Structure 1
């Protein structure tokens, strides 16, 4: 079976985890955490990067920093992972879902303004498959209505929009380093902060509400309970695993992009015959090869295709169930406008295996089976 995902591994992870143990610093904010944070800050030109235990927690931290509270509304696509909404409904806010663009599966930037009310506090664009949302339009709307922009860039590291790193365009950006992502620490994430005025509060909330970070830097004589907070620090052993991959981030991205381009080239005949729709990369967007997806005619055809691939040793999967159709989505959110594409496209999309160790020959085999299904 060709798995859908294999966690990335470069070969130095075990060595660095061993170093972490030998450092006798396996809790949070050790030497490897510092290395990873500084690397991300340089790579993204961000004022501050804070590693977290997940992208979910990075988004929760952003919700706390923006003081999202009961009665507020936060605009986002319904075609996203539950964490995008969870972070805000935990604060008592309502998730306001907007339809997507069928070409990128990203929030339709032209429908956002109609969803803005006096209760709206933030827009959360989700960069699906590492392909940027139309951030110029979104940032202009945020400025016009005095809203925060919190980028869900869970899939977006090493991708850019008009030369700017995804996650470093809005007020806050959230990365995921889950085992399914291009760069991984097993479970983990990061919060990117653009305005330095939020850094101290972010450090305090991330450190259980204490100013321990300032204490470790010698800025205060002892640390105290300063505010509400939680524990969002990953172990330095997790950061050690991640560091081995950040060192080779360019190489990992290059390999994934090569496999993405291979899929895209080999599947063109099916697109030309109208059998499949393939991904669109808008002008100004540089993606990271996070995912290769295509779209079947409808749900019934997709179901048969996935079963056929499984029978032939290929694990291909669909993706999100739109949040507004889920029990919690009905309880904590509402859909603004008409659902023209979100549900329809979610029932057509399927994802093919994509991971760092995926071989060229395996992509050839996978595509051959897709073509066999369509009698091409």
Structure 2
């Protein structure tokens, strides 16, 4: 493709830090670069404890273990999300109860929550789609009233806020992704943010394969043992070294991405009365971290036509999630409710090319071809 959908950005320090990690003699997990990355998030955003993982999927699976999900427990999850959001809890035996999106944005609609809660409900998982915050105050209030855990799937939401609070730091647990399509990357990678004191000690044990190995290396115990369930969730120092080079350049990366995002918004806003599609909505309570730029087409045919038109010009745009409640795995398990907003976003969203090195000329070409498609 002449203009790809995504192109990973390198700051120039990644390979140097990887070399440093290798020469240090320790490239397994929980070394110096791991601690630097975790410290970065704890200091910058005030998260109580951060643990790097090999993916956001792993962080979600850790969250499911931490809140002690058991067969028969119910977990409320938005249908418009990536499969990992639900799968992490299905693996522990949970029944997934899917919630619909808001009318004007893909995030979970908090007005639906109370009618979905039963005596078996254990947790609510929110997904901050495109890095834009869900309305967390009513969600947390409903959760607290019903003694439920809230887990934030903040895979796309690094450096984004809700009423001044960092996303991933509001619920009991938060999860992040550093996949190559995200703002800050390490190829594959993720992180668990622990915000509830009850989970601080156990999170580290689960992270270290169910052992108290970290306590042993800090000199807190004389030997380490198998003390809980867990798995090999921590990444190697190679991944952490790559990630730290990115984190050092977070502000620069964000500045460029926001400029690209605002250029898209301003250009498409010019269509005004001729607009047959919708632009992203950023609520007053949310900030925009410029994770992606998407358009909501009028229907699936218009969306597919735009993708085809751009592809004919060697420009790759993509649709996004398909509603999980309609998936082959889950369709027969769903309770039959029609989740019309989730279905609409599944049919109508198109994501335009978005990456740090997208040039002004490339972006102009994407915009002009798209605009001509809509007004022709």
Shorter-normalised TM-score: what interval? over 0.9
Give runs of aligned pairs for residues 213-224 of structure 1, distance below 5 A.
213-224=214-225
Q: Which residue number corresponds to residue 352 of structure 1?
A: 352
2: CA distance between counterparts of 1:19 and 1:336? 55
Deviation at 1:287, TM superposition (A): 1.6
2: CA distance between counterparts of 1:338 and 1:144? 27
Which structure 1 residue ranges, 5 or more long, are not aligned?
A: none
- Give yes or no for contact 2:274–2:375 (8 Å, CA) kept in 1: no
Give runs of aligned pairs for residues 82-121 of structure 1, distance below 5 A.
82-121=83-122
1: CA distance between counterparts of 2:336 and 2:243? 39
Q: Which residue number corresponds to residue 322 of structure 1?
A: 323
Q: Which residue number corresponds to residue 272 of structure 1?
A: 273
Structure 1 position 16 matched with structure 2 position 5 = no
Deviation at 1:222, TM superposition (A): 1.1
C-alpha root-mean-square deviation of aligned residues, in Å? 1.2
- With normalisation by structure 1, the TM-score equals 0.97
Q: Which residue number corresponds to residue 366 of structure 2?
A: 366
Q: Which residue number corresponds to residue 192 of structure 1?
A: 193
- SS of aligned partner of 2:243: helix
Q: Which residue number corresponds to residue 340 of structure 1?
A: 340
Q: 1:102 to 1:314 in 2, by over 3 A?
A: farther
2: CA distance between counterparts of 1:158 and 1:300? 35
Give runs of aligned pairs for residues 135-214 of structure 1, distance below 5 A.
135-214=136-215
2: CA distance between counterparts of 1:60 and 1:17? 27
- Give yes or no for contact 1:124–1:152 (8 Å, CA) kept in 2: yes
Please list the CA deviations of residues 46-76 of structure 1 after superposition, one character each: whole Å capped at 9, or x if unmatched: 1100000100000000000000110000001
- SS of aligned partner of 2:294: strand
Please list the CA deviations of residues 175-218 of structure 1 after superposition, one character each: whole Å capped at 9, or x if unmatched: 00111111011111000001233121111111111100001111
1: CA distance between counterparts of 2:367 and 2:50? 39
Deviation at 1:271, TM superposition (A): 4.2
Structure 1 position 47 matched with structure 2 position 48 = yes
Deviation at 1:8, TM superposition (A): 2.3
Which structure 2 residue ranges, 5 or more long, are not aligned?
A: none
- Give yes or no for contact 1:8–1:182 (8 Å, CA) kept in 2: no
Deviation at 1:42, TM superposition (A): 1.4
- With normalisation by structure 2, the TM-score equals 0.97
2: CA distance between counterparts of 1:204 and 1:6? 36
- Give yes or no for contact 2:135–2:285 (8 Å, CA) kept in 1: no
Deviation at 1:256, TM superposition (A): 0.6
2: CA distance between counterparts of 1:272 and 1:10? 41
Number of aligned residues: 375
Please list the CA deviations of residues 23-45 of structure 1 after superposition, one character each: whole Å capped at 9, or x if unmatched: 11110001000000000111221
Deviation at 1:335, TM superposition (A): 5.0
- Give yes or no for contact 2:275–2:374 (8 Å, CA) kept in 1: no
- Give yes or no for contact 1:98–1:337 (8 Å, CA) kept in 2: no
